Structure 1
């Protein structure tokens, strides 16, 4: 009985890893030694550079590869109201458009891509300061999440071309 439970658990864990599922915050390692970042907001740039350096990718302005952040778009909307018609829940949507190009030739190494992350959080009209602080923390979380997603996409894309 114990052996069949162990085998079942082993098979289920192998199936789960085979489908590509990863824990939140884990990233694939890009097949690059260096990368330059252009066009990102300060918050995204710092978060992205820290995570790239944790992946042993040196971020500097003379890299032959240039990650171009074409556009960052924040959307904030009310997603629920209370009985008095006041805002009770908000939705934050962060969209990022990016591509990688060869610095020497200007050739696109990836097609322009879009990445989007969404969070919903409660809003307390009677405690706007705390709600505002929570919104700020969620925005920071979205920058971090977007960095992980972007690095995973860079890692996938960097497998397709031959780095210098």
Structure 2
């Protein structure tokens, strides 16, 4: 399996708008920011131990928009910057303490939807559904690089929802 950096790198080639990719009708593009500093990451997550993959993500890219619908904002995934991820994680834990574990990290938001991308303490990637309990959340990958690779291969489609 590739590293986080290697898995994120192909998205950098999606900066130009592309029409009608895959089964969606939207004009899509990706934007991958430069990496955050070690201080920015540690300041935002000072109260939590970070998994190496998550730290590697933010050191590679502070924030990213993957397969974003550039016209309407109704498609794609926003990978949150360290401070926004910490705030969203805190808010989700407070709102749904029975579903979110103290070691979970909310790292992304699906554009146009209310689902969030969660990295669990084992490095597994879950999609937190807004009305469902944790037991009903799909585990969409075993690692963050695996998720990034599979999401790229699916051209931004929610591959876990396919029949």
Rg comparison, structure with higher value: 1
| Structure richer in strand, relative to its length | 1
Q: Does 1 or 2 have the higher relative contact order (CA < 8 Å, sep 6+)?
A: 1
Relative to the length of structure 2, the TM-score reads 0.27
Q: Whose helix fraction is larger, Structure 1's or Structure 2's?
A: 1
